[in-house]
Structure 1
Amino acid sequence: MVSLGTLFAFAIVSLGMVCSPGPNMIYLISRTLTQGRIAGIISLLGVMLGFLIYIMATMLGLTALFTAVPVFFETVKFAGAIYLLWLAWNAIKPGSASILEPRKLAIDPPRKLFLMGFMTNLFNPKIAVLYVSLLPQFVDPARGSLLLQSATLGFTQITVSFIVNLLIVCTASKISVWFGTRPTWLRVQRWLMASVLTGLAVRLAFEHGK
């Protein structure tokens, strides 16, 4: 069983990831501002289904694969660290736009909203990094079933992500207006997210597989 300390640490990592710039947040903010809060919530439900797919994949073999093939684990680990650093650079590079500067989207029916939310998350490389590279770092074979540990960590991440993204959907308009009139805070947001991503990348690069 996952210890409370490990669970808390993974929840903090999950919080850092969900608050960092990425396709999910851009899509949910843009969709909510374009089509309304209900559309944002439907899209969010699609995003959550994408997380469930990743949890199932993790439970059905990723951890076992890393244990059997350490070289594969090391490759994925460093690739994930490089990707996180790339995200950090894109958040602060000259001319970069804030995630709070939404894109214009077409008006879509509920079924398409759900599907787009699902596809956005399923093909989100940041989430792949979280489940393929970061989650296995918190699994300890000495503490029992790897299947149960992966499920516990996965559902912890889903809970954190759902709460944060629901808050974003419910306050997207206010957040966009507030930050839009305060360019200094937009710069702070970009640097804060870049710092979180860099910290995660460093932790990942120097973490040893269990």
Structure 2
Amino acid sequence: MPDLSSLWWFFTASLVLLLIPGPSVLYVTGRTLDQGRRAGLLSTLGLACGDLVQVVAAVVGLSALVASSETAFSVVKYAGAAYLAWLGVKRLRAPDPVPAEDVPATPDATAPHAAAPARTPRLFSDGLVVNALNPKSTLFFLAFLPAFIDSGRGAVWSQTLVFGLVFVVVGMATNAGWALLSSLLRTRARQSRGFLRAERYVLAGVFFLLAAATLATGLTGD
């Protein structure tokens, strides 16, 4: 079990690192601006579970195996990039939302209507897959976390699990904060018709940007 001092320093370092806008922040803010606070918070939960998958992989040694194999690392990297690109294309193909005041009070099958919100399971699973297949997370748990491991404090796997869980909780808290902030900005911005038309392009652009960043990730962390 890590000592309190190590836990505190790891918590502080993780908080500083996660407060800096990165892939997870872009993903959460993009989802929130496009689909609202609920979508952002559900995406946050999915991302946290994706990080948890990475933690478990680090505990059992899968992260080390992936990082030590160029082929395995490439499979994870390209799978993650392809999934993000698919999400981007899917969002581009979705219809533009219609302002509430333009929606007729009486349902009409031929009238335009607001785009249906993404379902809860989809919002959660998208976030989970995005982080579970994020090669940057794999490299993080291999390059950053070991610096806090003390072999004299017990089994390495148990310390890795504890530090990993701390990281997951901190990440969930910071991403939720970004989601709430983005929700406030969205409430104001949605008064503009231009923003309503741009919503899907904003999120699609975020997905494509994250896909490009994933492809640029190498075993050296470049």
Give the TM-score taking structure 2 as reference length.
0.57
Give RMSD over aligned pairs.
Answer: 3.3
Task: Select 1:143's aligned residue among 124, 128, 153.
Answer: 153
Give the match for residue 129 of structure 2: 119
Contact 1:22/1:126 (CA < 8 Å) preserved in 2?
Answer: no
1:29-44 counterparts in 2 under 5 A?
Answer: 29-44=29-44
Shift of 1:62: 6.0
2:11 equivalent in structure 1: 11
Structure 1 unmatched runs, 5+: 67-71, 73-103, 179-204, 206-210
Q: What is the distance in 2 between the residues matched to 1:175 and 1:37? A: 10
When Rg is computed on C-alpha atoms for both structures, the one with the higher figure is 2
Deviates more, 1:15-24 or 1:149-158: 15-24
What residue number does 2:139 align with?
129
- Measure, in 1, the Cα distance between the counterparts of 2:14 and 2:62: 18
Distance 1:167 1:21, change over 3 A: closer
Where does structure 1 differ by over 6 angstroms across 4 or more consecutive aligned residues?
none
Q: Tell me if the contact between 2:37 and 2:183 (Cα under 8 Å) persists in the aligned partners.
A: no
Percent identical residues: 32
Cα separation, 2, equivalents of 1:135 and 1:176: 35
Task: State the partner residue of 2:45.
Answer: 45
1:155 aligns with 2:157: no
State the partner residue of 1:26.
Answer: 26
Q: CA deviation at 1:42?
A: 1.3
After the TM superposition, which residues 1-210 of structure 1 pair with which residues of structure 2 at under 5 Å, given as runs? 1-61=1-61, 107-174=117-184
Q: Which runs of 5+ in 2 are unaligned?
A: 69-90, 95-116, 189-220
CA distance in 1, matches of 2:138, 2:31: 23
CA apart distance, 1:175: 5.5
Query: In structure 1, the residue corresponding to 2:144 is in which secondary structure?
Result: helix
Q: Mark the CA change 1:148 to 1:39 in structure 2 (over 3 Å): closer, same or farther.
A: same
Alpha-carbon distance change, 48 to 176 in structure 1, aligned in 2, over 3 angstroms: same
Letter in 2 for 1:137: A
8 A contact 1:62–1:132 mirrored in 2: no
